[in-house]
């Protein structure tokens, strides 16, 4: 048997860090949403418990270190199933970019193997297993838009942003999420995003209020490491984005616009200035 799953990227409309926990993680408060840029994960059932993996991108591990491989392995262990899978990843999401590409591949593998192996697990059960792989995996199991708390695994679904276009611009380098959180000093954060105001903006369907409440406390930290992120933000604004923010721990910067023509203009303006640039739709309402 064979199945194919879409693994979409996410962006953070807000990312706030409330405190550092004794276990080393931060307690976060984020509003995350899914965009129409996705990897494709093809899964082929194997009649024995082996797992094989290949990816179209040389930038991700092609072995048991790949998060999709880890997901299939963990699902085997949790359920005791004696079947395997051949995983092929068609990579389109930039790697180490703050777009949760690896987490989304892991989530898609959990969803796909659940079907392939007829396990009958609920999305809640898959999200619980996914949380052992990474903090963003539970969000990627459900997709759409959610408020994420704890280290990102406690989710409350919320209405998606009003329909718009998203320009994603990834600088040449990648960023290690661990490095960025390692440099974050919660006590020194000067501006926290107003998560409540972002939630209200979504609930009232106000594009303008979504724009005015974008915020990410990791942005100054990543800009300190890679000033190029700030330059890309400036360029996006110059070319006409309504709102601009770095996603996750970065370095990808996204810009929101209403019209496709404006999104295309920003993409053309940024070409040559950054490694990868895309105009995609926000997935949702």
Q: Residues within the annotated binding site for ATP?
A: 94-104
- Residue 283 binding ligand ATP, by CB under 6 A: no
Largest CA distance in the chain: 56
Stretch that binds ligand ATP, among 71-79, 95-103, 162-170, 187-195 (CB under 6 A): 95-103
Q: Does the annotation count 170 as an active-site position?
A: no
Q: Which residue has the tokens 């949790």?
A: 78
Question: Toward ligand ATP, which CB reaches closer, 65 or 196?
Answer: 65
| Burial degree of 208 (CB within 10 A; 0-12, 13-18, 19+) | exposed
Q: Any catalytic annotation for residue 259?
A: no
Tell me the three state secondary structure of residue 67: helix
Q: How far apart are CA 131 and CA 261, in angstroms?
A: 39
User: Residue 219 interacts with ligand ATP (CB under 6 A)?
Assistant: no
Element (DSSP H or E) covering residue 156: strand 154-157
Which of 76, 145, 160, 249 lies at the binding interface for ligand ATP (CB under 6 A)? 249
- Residue with tokens 């550092």, as numbered in its chain: 20
- Rounded to a whole number of angstroms, the minimum distance from the CB of residue 118 to ligand ATP is 24
**Cα–Cα dist 122/196, whole Å:** 30
CB 223 within 8 A of CB 230: yes
Q: Tell me the closest approach of the beta carbon of residue 174 to ligand ATP, in angstroms.
A: 7
Closest CA to 146 of 33, 245, 13: 33
Window contacting ligand ATP (CB under 6 A); options: 65-73, 143-151, 229-237, 276-284: 65-73
From 79-87, 92-100, 123-131, 266-274, span contacting ligand ATP (CB under 6 A): 92-100
Residue 96 interacts with ligand ATP (CB under 6 A): yes or no: yes
Residue of 136, 170, 235, 242 marked catalytic: 136
- Tokens, residue 275: 């490694």
Residue nearest to ligand ATP (CB): 102
Closest C-alpha among 135, 153, 146, 71 to residue 106: 71
| Closest CB to ligand ATP among residues 15, 239 | 15
Which positions from 97 through 116 interact with ligand ATP, judged by CB under 6 A?
97-103, 105
**Footprint (CB under 6 A) of ligand ATP, residues 119-138:** 136
Which one of the listed residues 10, 91, 170, 235 is annotated catalytic? Answer: 10
Instruction: Tell me the number of residues near ligand ATP by CB under 6 A.
Output: 20
Q: Tell me the C-alpha distance between 76 and 83, whole Å.
A: 8
Residue with token string 């129409």? 36
Nearest approach, Cβ of residue 219 and ligand ATP (Å): 14
Q: Are 219 and 226 in contact (CB under 8 A)?
A: no
Give the residue, chosen from 84, 171, 193, 248, that forms a contact with ligand ATP under the rule CB under 6 A. Answer: 248
- One-character DSSP codes across 244-271: EEE-TTSS-EEEEES-HHHHHHHHHHHB
> For binding to ligand ATP (CB under 6 A), which residues are involved?
60-61, 66-68, 89, 95-103, 105, 136, 177, 248-249
Catalytic (active-site) positions: 10, 136
């Amino acid at each position: 048997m064979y199945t194919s799953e879409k693994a979409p990227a996410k962006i953070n409309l807000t990312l706030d860090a409330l405190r550092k926990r004794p276990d080393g993680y931060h307690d976060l408060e984020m509003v995350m949403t899914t965009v129409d840029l996705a990897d494709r994960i093809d899964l082929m059932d194997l009649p024995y418990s082996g797992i094989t993996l290949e990816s179209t991108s040389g930038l991700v591990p092609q072995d048991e270190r790949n998060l999709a491989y880890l997901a299939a392995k963990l699902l085997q262990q949790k359920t005791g199933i004696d079947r395997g899978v051949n995983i092929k990843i068609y990579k389109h999401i930039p790697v180490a970019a703050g777009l949760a590409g690896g987490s989304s591949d892991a989530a898609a593998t959990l969803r796909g193997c659940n079907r392939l192996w007829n396990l009958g697990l609920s999305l809640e059960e898959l999200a619980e297993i996914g949380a052992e792989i990474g903090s963003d995996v539970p969000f990627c199991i459900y997709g759409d838009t959610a408020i994420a708390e704890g280290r990102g695994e406690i989710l409350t679904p919320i209405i998606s942003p009003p329909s718009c276009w998203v320009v994603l611009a990834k600088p040449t380098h990648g960023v290690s999420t661990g490095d960025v959180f390692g440099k974050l000093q919660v006590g020194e954060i000067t501006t926290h995003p107003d998560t409540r105001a972002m939630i209200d903006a979504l609930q009232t369907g106000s594009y303008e209020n979504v724009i005015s409440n974008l915020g990410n406390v990791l942005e100054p930290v990543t800009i300190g490491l890679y000033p190029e992120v700030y330059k890309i933000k400036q360029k996006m604004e110059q070319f006409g984005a309504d709102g601009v923010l770095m996603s996750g721990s970065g370095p990808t910067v996204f810009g929101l616009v209403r019209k496709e023509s404006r999104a295309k203009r920003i993409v053309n303006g940024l070409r040559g200035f950054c490694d990868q640039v895309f105009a995609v739709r926000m997935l949702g309402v």
